[in-house]
Amino acid sequence: MNAVVTSSATEIPGPMPLMRAVVPPAAHLRGPMQLTRIMRAYLVEAKFDFLNALRAPIFVIPFLVLPVALFLLFGVVMTPEHAPEPAKAAEAGIFLLAAFSSFAILGPSLFGVGCPIAVERDAGLLRLKRALPAPPGSYLIAKVLMQLAFATIGVTAVAIMALLTGKLTMSLSQVCIYDAVLVVGTIPFCAIGLFIGTHSSGTAAPGLTNLIFFPMMYLSGMFFPLPKFLQPWAIIWPTFHLNQVAFAAAGITQFRFFEPLMSLGALIGLTVLFGGLALRRLARVG
């Protein structure tokens, strides 16, 4: 009887070393992720953010369909076939391309970044994102990549329509350079949208974005020539500076009214200012 008890007593702690051998130490679980896995995590987050926006008609129609439709209306339907002055007709084609390309990039960068962040902050989604095993910043980078994708589609559609209708005197290389600068230059507007999304509620964000969106488009002189008393004030709007940089990069001199390097500095300053304030707000408040 004693032998049996002794044997069973010696067998009781037996499974413990086995359990320690199966379960790896916690230090191994917290090891650094491979670069390929990190990049894939960012791309997957951006992919689903893009698909989410693509499935929303309220987002796709204004920012992908409307710029092309308005270009056809004002640049083709409402333009006479035989312009009395070819030089002015050529300038009008470039002017309309700049106007509706700016419209195609500005909407997604402000409404597509600022408003969803404000709504998701109110719903507590950002707190959930912090708890998920995702790389830091993947949520914000996905928003920016989604906007860059929409901006690329929008400006490409407008440029193709302008080239097919023969309303553009720019060469294909000039159009590509101009559109590439516009797409990259939307990052300052993403910073402004991020600032709106982090400092306003979900219900107030659309109204605040509209208060910025429409003056930024119309008072920058992109859709129609401004009255003389408003022309000096066009330099306060980022859309004006972005187009000055894009025109300079593409070699277009008809609409250059400001030093391109100063415009580039203004855009970089806006990105640092609004992006820094937004990230500070997220770090402090969430």
Q: Which of 92-101, 130-139, 196-205 has the highest mean pLDDT?
A: 196-205
CA distances from 163 to 9, 89, 155, 171 (A): 88, 14, 12, 9
User: Where do runs of H (alpha helix) occur along the chain?
Assistant: 2-11, 15-22, 26-29, 35-54, 57-60, 66-72, 86-111, 114-122, 125-131, 138-164, 172-184, 187-199, 205-218, 238-250, 260-284
Say if residues 158 and 97 touch (Cβ distance below 8 Å).
yes
**Residue 1: predicted pLDDT:** 45
**Residue 184: predicted pLDDT:** 93
Q: What percent of the chain has pLDDT over 90?
A: 24
User: Which phi and psi angles does 12 have, rounded to 5°?
Assistant: -65, -50
Give the model's confidence band at 77: pLDDT under 50 very low, under 70 low, under 90 confident, else very high: confident
> What average pLDDT score do residues 75-104 get?
72
Name which residue leads in pLDDT, 281 or 1: 281
Calpha distance 254→6 (Å, rounded): 99
> What average pLDDT score do residues 175-203 get?
92
Neighbours of 60 (CB within 10 A): 16
**Residue 220: predicted pLDDT:** 86
**Residue 9: predicted pLDDT:** 44
pTM score: 0.80
Domain boundaries, the chain: 35-284
Say if residues 37 and 135 touch (Cβ distance below 8 Å).
no
Phi-psi region of 215 (alpha: psi -120 to 50; beta: other; left: phi over 0): alpha
**Residue 30: predicted pLDDT:** 53
- Is pLDDT above 80 for 12? no
> What average pLDDT score do residues 38-51 get?
84
> What average pLDDT score do residues 204-208 get?
90
Structure letter (DSSP) for residue 170:
S
Say if residues 73 and 161 touch (Cβ distance below 8 Å).
no
Residues near 131 by Cβ (< 8 Å), separated by ≥ 6? none
> What average pLDDT score do residues 200-219 get?
89
Say if residues 146 and 112 touch (Cβ distance below 8 Å).
yes
